[in-house]
């Protein structure tokens, strides 16, 4: 019996030392210490031995069990170390491989031009105001002296939502909204998206305007020209040909539009500028007394100028873009150039 216990113990320790993986070590544990192991069978058969032999064999079996458990623990530590090393070697990153590279994005040209235009006016002391893109007929037209049934309404091809509600056709409604709430002096810009039923190389059904207006008690047309000339020089540089041209808007009197030399022909005349050599970028003028009346100002005491510029047109002129649609197609080959 003693010999049998010794044999089991030696064989178990040998098998444990020779185990090459945690899985085979676990198999050895089940085989030598599990419910069906030879050692457990021996313990169960202790009762069949003469009583004077039982304590001795019992303690031999227990010693063998402890020795096997100790061998299992030590081998497990060794095997875990080996397996960890193998895993680290397999997962090793080759830092010399070329990287995937990060593609850098950039702001949309319209965002860039809008930011630049806002910056110029903020430096001149203007503050930013906003208004809704879904407007009422009153703010888009009536308040701006564009009365119902007056032919001047045809200047804006309007998307109506219902009788009195429309997509704003310009940013000028913000003039009324701000002046209704605040007293002069005011120097405000209102950037935003506007909508018109228009579409060709220089007209888009959705485009961007930047409205500006300044109201105080002795504002002159000279102030309007000074501010806009300063803006145009900062935006396009000293060299770019620009011109002021008399015009008409129901909410300004007198009125003027500003043109910049055409992006495609630089003034010679082509299909884009309809052979004029110029592209119109903004409308402007001295605020009409009827607008002041609509917001409750005393038209005898206050005066002011206003302008509304097309940001898309400015982007076309600045970057030499010959079709406004390119700004809305989101073609990465186009956008990556900015």
Task: List interacting residues with ligand FA5 (CB under 6 A).
Answer: 170, 172, 196, 198, 203-204, 207, 209, 211, 249, 252, 280-285, 306-308, 310, 312-313, 324
Minimum distance from residue 240 beta carbon to ligand FA5 (Å): 15
Looking at beta carbons only, is 72 or 327 nearer to ligand FA5? Answer: 327
CB nearer ligand FA5, residue 19 or residue 158 = 158
Nearest distance from C-beta of residue 215 to ligand FA5, angstroms: 12
The sheet that has 165-167: what strands, in order across it? 134-136, 165-167, 160-162
For residues 8 and 235, which CB has a smaller minimum distance to ligand FA5 in the complex?
Answer: 235
Give the nearer residue to ligand FA5 in terms of CB position, either 19 or 140: 140
Strand duo 186-195 + 278-287: pairing: unpaired
- Those residues whose C-beta lies under 8 Å from the C-beta of residue 162, and which sit 6 or more positions away, are none
Alpha-carbon span 83 to 185, nearest angstrom? 79
Q: Give me the least distance between CB of 289 and ligand FA5, in Å please.
A: 14
- Between CA 247 and CA 253 the distance in angstroms is 9
| Contact partners, residue 49, CB within 8 Å, separation at least 6 | 1, 57
Residue closest to ligand FA5, measured at CB: 310
Choose between 6 and 245: whose C-beta lies nearer to ligand FA5.
Answer: 245
Name every residue whose Cβ is closer than 8 Å to that of residue 18 and which is 6 or more positions away in sequence: none
What is the secondary structure of 193-223 as a DSSP string?
EEE-S--BTTB-SEEEEEEEEEEESS--HHH
Q: Smallest distance from the beta carbon of 233 to ligand FA5, in angstroms? A: 18
Choice between 19 and 175, CB closer to ligand FA5: 175
Range list of β-strands (E), 242-289: 242-249, 252-261, 278-287
**Beta carbon nearer to ligand FA5, 38 or 326:** 326
- In the complex, the smallest distance separating the C-beta of residue 117 from ligand FA5, rounded to whole angstroms, is 12
CA atoms within 13 A on the CB side of 290: 12
253 is in an annotated binding site: yes
Q: How far is the CB of 262 from ligand FA5 (least distance, A)?
A: 13
3-state secondary structure (DSSP) of residue 230: helix
Residues 6+ apart with CB under 8 A from 263: 272, 279, 316, 317, 320, 321, 322
- Smallest gap, in angstroms, from Cβ of residue 288 to ligand FA5? 9
Q: Which residues are annotated as a binding site for Mg(2+)?
A: 253
Binding residues, as ranges, are 253
């Amino acid at each position: 019996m003693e010999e049998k216990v010794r044999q089991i113990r030696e064989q178990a320790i040998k098998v444990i030392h020779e185990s090459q993986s945690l899985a085979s070590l676990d198999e050895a544990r089940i085989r030598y210490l599990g419910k069906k192991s030879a050692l457990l069978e021996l313990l169960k058969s202790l009762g069949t031995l003469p009583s004077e032999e039982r304590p001795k064999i019992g303690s031999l079996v227990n010693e063998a069990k402890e020795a096997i458990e100790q061998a299992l623990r030590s081998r497990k530590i060794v095997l875990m170390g080996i397996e960890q090393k193998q895993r680290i070697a397999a997962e090793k990153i080759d830092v010399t491989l070329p990287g995937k590279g990060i593609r850098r994005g950039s702001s949309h040209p319209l965002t860039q031009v809008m930011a630049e235009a806002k910056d110029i006016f903020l430096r001149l002391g203007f503050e930013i105001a906003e208004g809704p893109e879904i407007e009422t007929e009153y703010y888009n037209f009536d308040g701006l002296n564009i009365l119902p049934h007056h032919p001047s309404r045809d200047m804006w091809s309007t998307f109506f939502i219902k009788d009195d509600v429309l997509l704003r056709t310009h940013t000028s409604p913000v003039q009324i909204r701000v002046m209704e709430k605040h007293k002069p002096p005011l120097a405000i810009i209102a950037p935003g998206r506007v909508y018109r039923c228009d579409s060709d190389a220089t007209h888009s059904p959705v485009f961007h305007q930047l409205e500006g207006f300044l109201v105080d008690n002795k504002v002159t047309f000279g102030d309007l020209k000074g501010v806009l000339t300063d803006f145009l020089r900062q935006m396009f540089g000293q060299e770019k040909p620009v011109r002021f041209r008399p015009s008409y808007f129901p909410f300004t009197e007198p009125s003027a539009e500003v043109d910049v030399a055409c992006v495609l022909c630089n003034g010679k005349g082509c299909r884009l500028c309809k052979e004029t050599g110029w592209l119109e970028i903004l409308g402007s003028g001295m605020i009409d007394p009827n607008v002041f009346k609509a917001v409750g100002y005393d038209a005898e005491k206050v005066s002011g100028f206003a302008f509304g510029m097309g940001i898309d047109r400015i982007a076309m002129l600045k970057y030499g873009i010959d079709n406004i649609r390119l700004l809305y197609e989101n073609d990465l080959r186009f956008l990556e150039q900015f």
